Amino acid sequence: MIDLHTHSVYSDGTNTPSELIKMADERGLSAMALTDHDTVGGLEPLFEAAADSGVEAIPGIELSAECAKGTMHILGYFFDHTNSMLLEKIDTVREGREERNHEILKRLNKLGYRLMWSDVEKQAGADVVGRPHFAEALVQRGLVKNRKSAFELLLAKGRPAYAERYRYTGRECVELIRNAGGIPVLAHPATIYLPDDQLRGLIMGLTEAGLGGLEVYYAEHHPENIRKFKRWADELGLISTGGTDYHGSNTPDLKLGTGFGQLRVPDEALEQLKTAAGK
């Protein structure tokens, strides 16, 4: 059993990389990728923890891309996480996140929610601060009932405290991962809200730019979506990958490796990624 999509305290997860490795070992996973948002900060701790376990640690990242309708994320695997251009581009994204965070706080305060930056920092982990940390801070201050309410009322796209931030295009994300020697994969394609013909056309365009895989097996994909995306991946010559998108206690019903219980990512997905990356 493998899981190629997880998050740690270095972005918006609640577990450290070492805790994730321990959990993966206990749950019988043979390999796990850490794919934190816009950061590689957790990879060295991941490798160190995995060295004394039976779990193979896979270097990963999840980059946010421009998307007019829905959410587009590009996963990267087996890239050089010390690549100078990659680190420089990530820093640009991080600067955009910081500007967005201060704008969100300003909007919340203007709306009458008495929240301080220190409240948000308390909920953040070791690296990236994002909207989930604002949501938890609002809950802890008793300003909203739960994280879901925080997003629905305030933080989701189109809500009053939402603020945009700098993102690269999907093509730029693909090229960035390729230039660092990695394999780019389109994450959870069902979160891009386009008609099938337009979505497939978008995936074709990314494939022409160097996309290597499609996240077919995903915890929130319905069976019909899995069948459709697997067919598209086969037709376009893409690797069918998968993962849970595990975030720890932020998603208590979702389990590492199996999602909501039904998910199984084929081991061959990892082998195909390794072959494509020359590993």
The arithmetic mean of pLDDT across residues 271-277, rounded, is 97
pLDDT tier at 173 (50, 70, 90 boundaries)? very high
Q: Write the DSSP assignment of the chain as a string of letters.
A: -EE--B--TTTT-SS-HHHHHHHHHHTT-SEEEE--BT--TTHHHHHHHHTTSS-EEEEEEEEEE--SSB-EEEEEES--TT-HHHHHHHHHHHHHHHHHHHHHHHHHHHTT----HHHHHHH--SS---HHHHHHHHHHTTSSSSHHHHIIIIISTTSTT------B-HHHHHHHHHHTT-EEEE--GGGB---HHHHHHHHHHHHHHT--EEEEEETT--HHHHHHHHHHHHHHT-EEEEE--B-GGGSTT-BTTTBTTT--B-HHHHHHHHHHHT-
Per-residue confidence band for 148, with pLDDT thresholds at 50, 70 and 90 = confident
> Which span out of 121-125, 138-142, 211-215, 247-251 was modeled with the highest average pLDDT?
211-215
Alpha-carbon span 126 to 12, nearest angstrom:
10
pLDDT in tens, 45-58: 999 999 989 999 99
Tell me the pTM: 0.87
State how far Cα 265 lies from the chain centre: 17
Domain 2-89+166-277 in CATH: superfamily?
Answer: Metal-dependent hydrolases (3.20.20.140)
- Do 2-89+166-277 and 99-155 agree at the fold level? no
User: Cα 277 to chain center, whole Å?
Assistant: 20
Please determine, for residue 7, whether its predicted confidence score (pLDDT) is greater than 90: yes
Predicted confidence at residue 201, as pLDDT, reads: 96
Q: What is the pLDDT of residues 22-46, one digit of tens each?
A: 999 999 999 999 999 999 999 999 9
pLDDT for residue 251 is more than 90: no
pLDDT > 80? residue 250: no
Number of neighbouring beta carbons within 10 Å of residue 6? 30
Output the pLDDT for position 125: 67
pLDDT tens-digit map of 215-226: 999 999 999 999
Does 117 score more than 90 pLDDT?
no
Domain ranges of the chain: 2-89+166-277, 99-155
Averaged over 65-91, what is the pLDDT? 94
- The tokens describing 87, both together, are 């680190």
Taking residues 146-170, what's their average pLDDT? Answer: 88
Residue 126: pLDDT band (50, 70, 90) is: low
Topology of the domain covering 99-155: DNA polymerase; domain 1 (1.10.150)
Alpha-carbon Rg of the chain, whole angstroms? 18
Q: For the chain, first and last CA: distance in Å? A: 20
